[in-house]
């Protein structure tokens, strides 16, 4: 059987040491650090994890130029531990969740904060605030065989050499196995999925011309340049 249109290209990220990681979906966890939850007006002691999604085309590899998105003048950075899945599943237990993991990266959940705020005010979906080209920059993926499970690692983001976010993944309210288990109860996870696990406090705006660097100890660095 032949395709009636040209199939879309496979979107992928490099894997440290060789090979490529093909992307399926991008899931993001909201308010998963206590200090960021407070920063955004939430209560980390009362909230179950909640999720939103980005398409694979939102992913931008390290060393690339990020196009500043249209229809916004208030785009914010949120540095995050990224989990890459080797296989999927449904209703995965917390105990079995790490069996799905291929490896890790460090990423940035970019947000058109002005459009997100407008959607919240009108009780509308967030997609316009969270989904756009280059909305999910991500580093090369590093295999869990190389890193081991990452439960305690410094994570930071700098802009033009100035540290803006500085935390540790041990501050996650919902840990990686709990996030995977909860996601699998809501969605059918697949190989190639990425999970952005939440951000520490210090989120803020980016500007055209910014040199942005995100770092996760034991994994590496992501660097992007914001264009006009």
- From start to end of the chain, where are the E strands? 12-14, 20-22, 25-30, 50-55, 59-61, 64-67, 75-77, 79-85, 101-108, 111-112, 136-138, 142-143, 154-159, 162-168, 194-196, 204-205, 211-216, 220-227
Give residues with Cβ within 8 angstroms of 186, minimum separation 6: 51
Q: What would be the CATH architecture of the domain defined by 12-227?
A: Alpha-Beta Complex (3.90)
pLDDT at 38 over 80: no
CA distance 72 to 68: 9
Residue with tokens 């590496």: 220
Which pLDDT does position 35 carry in this prediction? 67
Q: For residue 193, which of 62, 79, 89 has the smallest C-alpha distance?
A: 89
Mean pLDDT score across all residues of the chain: 94
pLDDT at 40 over 60: no
Domain boundaries of the chain, sorted by first residue: 12-227
Token pair of 47 as six digits: 């909230």
User: 91 pLDDT exceeds 90?
Assistant: yes
Is residue 113 pLDDT above 70, yes or no?
yes
The owner of tokens 């460090």 is 106
Task: Note the pLDDT of residue 102.
Answer: 98
pLDDT on residue 1: 79
Enter the pTM of the model. Answer: 0.95
Which residue, 151, 152, 138, is CA-closest to 192?
138
Euclidean distance between CA atoms 92 and 70, whole angstroms: 39
- φ, ψ at 180 (rounded to 5°): -60, -45
Average pLDDT over residues 91-118: 98
Tens-digit pLDDT profile for residues 158-173: 999 999 999 999 999 9
């Amino acid at each position: 059987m032949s395709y009636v249109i040209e199939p879309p290209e496979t979107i992928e990220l490099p894997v440290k040491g060789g090979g490529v990681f093909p992307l399926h979906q991008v899931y993001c966890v909201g308010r998963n650090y206590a200090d960021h939850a407070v920063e955004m007006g939430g209560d980390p002691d009362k909230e179950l994890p909640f999720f939103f999604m980005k398409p694979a085309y939102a992913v931008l590899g390290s060393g690339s130029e990020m196009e500043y998105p249209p229809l916004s003048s208030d785009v914010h950075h949120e540095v995050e531990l990224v989990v890459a899945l080797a296989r999927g599943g449904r209703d995965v237990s917390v105990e079995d969740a790490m069996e799905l993991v291929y490896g890790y990266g460090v990423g940035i959940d970019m947000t058109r904060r002005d459009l997100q705020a407008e959607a919240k005010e009108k009780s509308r979906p967030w997609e316009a605030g969270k989904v756009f080209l280059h909305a999910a920059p991500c580093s090369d993926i590093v295999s869990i065989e190389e890193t081991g499970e990452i439960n305690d690692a410094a994570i930071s983001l700098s802009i033009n050499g100035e540290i803006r976010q500085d935390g540790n993944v041990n501050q996650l309210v919902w840990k990686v196995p709990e996030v995977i288990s909860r996601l699998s109860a809501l969605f059918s996870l697949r190989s190639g999925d990425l999970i952005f696990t939440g951000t520490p406090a210090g989120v803020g705006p980016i500007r055209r011309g910014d040199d942005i660097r995100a770092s996760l100890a034991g994994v590496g660095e992501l660097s992007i340049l914001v264009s006009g």
